[in-house]
Chain A
Amino acid sequence: MENDNIPENKLVCDFLFQPGAKDAFALLDYALKNGQYIQNHVSQEQLFVFVRNNYESLKAYYREYFSLYLDREGQDDQSYYFLNFRKDGNGVYSRGKIPPRNRVYLDGAYILVGFMFARMYLIDIDADSIFSPTDFKRRVKLDYDEYRQDLMRLFANHNDINETQMDWSKLDTIIDKALREFEAMGWIYPLGTGEYQILPSSNRLITMYKEPINSFEKILTEDIEP
């Protein structure tokens, strides 16, 4: 996270007067507020260029008027922009000036799918940047024995060691829905052949949980010690 402080007051509305603002800003604003991530991809070229060129100014605008934080992650070509939150004085995440009825949270089920997705395609350096939902679903079934019991318990509501096709199809449905959400968020991009391209912003799945990832083991040891 970069410095949140605004260097100079005049930056706040600078972007409004830049070239391309009249074309790009409306789209950018809607995209960001729809929870979309902006990166260097052919589908978001216009928006990416605009936000990159006016980053400081836009950042100031969202912070001052919405208490939202336009963050940037990743390096150069792999960088991406998105609206983010900060914890307030009590250590709770503040949702800025978004009215409560305009807040929608990403389903826990989809986050779980996201973790499996991350493990399969993001943390492995050799992984392809293109994947197919069928392949993903198949690998979840065959390669992740260690999650199988939990998957059945959470998604198919049983604790049996045997599974049926119906059980797996429940999981398949959830995976489909999750992928649609990720697509809407700009984490993956449909290539029209049924396959998806994995975009740089999907790394957020891992960066977002940096804190819990580093701290969860301490929780475990705390549990074990008397």
Chain B
Amino acid sequence: MGTSRHISLILVVLTVACLAWPCQGFYLPGIAPIDYASGAKLEVMANKLTSPKNQLPFDYYSLGFCGSEDKKSYRSRPVNLGQLLVGERMKPTHYDLAMRRMGSCKVLCSKTFTEREVKMFKMRIHQEYAVRLNLDNMPVVMKARTGTGAPAYHFGYRIGVEQDKKHYINNHLKFTVLYNEPSADGSSFNNLELDTAPEAGFRVVGFEVVPFSTAHKGTTEAELMNTTCPVSEKIPPQEVVAGKPVTFTYDVDYVLSSTRWATRWDPLLAANPELQQIQWFSIINSLMITLFLTALVGTVLMRTVLRDFVRYNQLEDEDEADETTGWKLVHVCRARYLAAFLGNEKFEPGVYYSASDIFLPFLALMFSAGRCVPCPREATPSSNLCRVRCTDYLYDYCHSCFCAAGFSFSCESWRSTFRHAFIVGSCVLC
């Protein structure tokens, strides 16, 4: 009573508090949408290198990518505890992206690898490591199609490819930034969003990449324009070698998307339709098993209860021996029986008042306690007789116990025999 009163009081106070003061809502950091004007700088952050074959992530700048020579200036931005624990970082990169400014064959840098760097590259390419980048907290994905034609997304792009014992590095990246224009969409949902810049706000809703391995012949944009730009698959790939310069380049394309910022993760998280079907099947399977178990438990209990009820009824009428086994014993009533026998005069006439009645209940408990359950049926006649009398005592004992305990109104009714069936428990615990 007290706790429910307390709870209702707390609820009333909370309701009043909510209604009394006007609230000023605010977005938690990291959850609010960021609007970019046309030409605003987009920051590509490097996260980590991951591999499907290996559980260990590695730092982006542990390999000889552009910017790795100056590791100290590439400290990670602060990330929350959960991200820290799974090894996620946010390290700045040199990619120069501006909202809705297309770019083609932009040079990131041109590097000459040392032997050690080449060795590391080859090892990571062999272990199938992929690079994870982030743009506005959206991971870079490679889009593919499943067998049924549904889109599937892979996080990150492979560092390189190993073919015929040669290692080729993906040094050209074709980025596609999907953006959404919230002010153009006149739906009422968008109008409710706070901090909307109605004139020139664009939001990033997707970040896709297609990697290429291109053996560039030059190191500046002018040189590349005439030779290996635009990049296509026909150009021979770039092998990882020491001593010769490797040029890292990238294209940027901006595509208007109807996906809203609030649902930008949905395409990435949508599970395979086949997967969903399998899961539903397994759930229904488990449900069937649970129902079966429930039926089993119910059946067992019902049968036990009814069986004991019937048995005790028969015992009363025919007064014959029956092997009471298992938990159908009376222990706790022992003390009551003695007390009743010694001090109480209200016994039923059916109880035997011989002097041996003090000892025989104990014997009854011992023998019919099922200690002879594993014993063969051909017990000695004496023990059989003992058992007969014991169970006889047992039943009368129980009956008298209940009657002495004050259930005289139901002494002759079926309720007392029903309760007899549950005496077991006390015997086991007692």
The answer on A and B forming one complex is no
Interface set of A (CB-CB < 8 Å, partner B):
none
